[in-house]
Chains A and B, each alone.
Chain A
């Protein structure tokens, strides 16, 4: 059973608010990811991290920022939420297959459904 957690599960906020979506995993995985999932189901990688103090932008440009101060924790922050940020946000993690190996499959959290009014 994968152990990756996201809070809150649902969030409804007003425009202009600062929010942080939490993601934690207890599997000791070095690589973590954030995806944005639009209503049409398609998944877009917005951020990822190879490990502590590493953050990279994904394939889809996002106004959000991330940090990786601890291996198990990868929060995503929106400084000023807008209606265009309304979406489902999924966090995931993975590990290498052995030392220097390719990355294994990703394990996903339950997601945060964000609605900005």
Chain B
């Protein structure tokens, strides 16, 4: 079946550090890939997405590249801020079947000033 595996958390960094949150997936066909962010007390917001191999999604300084050869979609940011503290979810929608959104387990990120 389809699945998403994320880097174990929690992750704690200092402000201006480089961030990588690893995400790998298993899916049939050619899924669309997403990163969602959940700030404290809120619902999920779409951070970025990529719909085909080698696409790069980017938003708010975050980037992720759809790598079909390694089935990965790692999230990166060059210089994190305290306001980036949140829970990050990697997810996919398969191109076949029920087309349900399949989430990773989430990674809690804390940025210290």
Interface residues in chain A, defined as those with a beta carbon under 8 Å from any beta carbon in chain B: 6, 33, 40-43, 45, 48, 58-59, 90, 92, 102-103, 105-111
A41-B87, A48-B100 as given contacts; A102 in contact with B45, CB under 8 Å: no
Cβ–Cβ contact B32 & A42, under 8 A: no
Least Cβ–Cβ distance between B60 and chain A, in angstroms: 15
Query: Which chain A residue lies CB-closest to B93?
Result: A103
Give complex CA distance A94, B89 in Å.
18
Number of A-B contacts (CB under 8 A): 47
Report the contact-size class of chain B (Cβ under 8 Å from the partner): 20 to 34
Residues of B within 8 A of A108 (CB): 36, 43-45
Known contacts A41-B108, A90-B44, A102-B95, then 18 further A-B pairs from the complex at CB < 8 Å, ordered by chain A residue: A41-B38, A42-B103, A42-B105, A42-B106, A43-B89, A90-B43, A92-B101, A102-B32, A102-B93, A103-B99, A105-B32, A105-B46, A106-B101, A108-B43, A108-B44, A110-B42, A111-B42, A111-B43
Give complex CA distance A45, B111 in Å.
30
B34: interface (CB < 8 Å): yes
Give complex CA distance A107, B43 in Å.
9
A41-B87, A41-B106 as given contacts; A102 in contact with B49, CB under 8 Å: no
Residues of A within 8 A of B106 (CB): 41-43
Least Cβ–Cβ distance between A101 and chain B, in angstroms: 10
Query: Which chain A residue lies CB-closest to B30?
Result: A102
Give complex CA distance A34, B39 in Å.
19
